[in-house]
Amino acid sequence: MPTLTMAVPIIPARDVAESAAWYRENLGFEIVHVEPEYGIVERDHVGVHFWGPSGIEPQDSMTMFRIRVDGIGELYESCGARGIVHPNAPLEAKPWGAQEFAVTDGDGNLLTFFER
């Protein structure tokens, strides 16, 4: 049977280059490709793609995705030091057996990091 190896969200960005830079500077992603209407960043086995300029303002968007991680405590400390942890989503244990927290990127997209 075939093996699925990655799911890649494509999220709205007001400015693709700025969004890619935000992911590089705040979360350690590598910028793979940037053009005015499309961008790609990757880290480890995770890719995020951006389309834009989307014309979608953060208050009008509710794009969310989850990224499974190993070492969530260290990532949480890093994000906390950068001031990007969502105020309503600190690191906590969930009833479904995960530790998780969330950040909001510069375009208002919500990323939840979780570890089982």
Q: What is the mean pLDDT of the chain?
A: 91
Q: What is the mean pLDDT of residues 67-76?
A: 95
106: amino acid identity, one letter: G
4-59 confidence digits (pLDDT tens)? 678 899 998 989 999 999 999 999 999 999 999 999 999 999 999 999 886 666 56
- Go through the domains of the chain in sequence order and give each one's CATH number: 10-115 (3.10.180.10)
pLDDT of 6: 82
pTM for the complete prediction? 0.88
Q: At what angle do helices 16-27 and 72-82 cross, to 10 degrees?
A: 120
3-state secondary structure of 70: coil
Q: Could you give the CA distance from residue 82 to residue 13 in angstroms, rounded to a whole number?
A: 21
The per-residue pLDDT for 2 is 73
pLDDT recorded at residue 108: 86
Q: Which amino acid is at 36?
A: P
Name the pLDDT band for 72 (thresholds 50, 70, 90): very high
8 Å CB contact between 50 and 20: yes
Distance separating alpha carbons of residues 39 and 48, to the nearest angstrom: 8
Residue 57, pLDDT score: 66
- Give the mean model confidence (pLDDT) for residues 59-75: 87
**Which three-class secondary structure state does DSSP give residue 91?**
coil
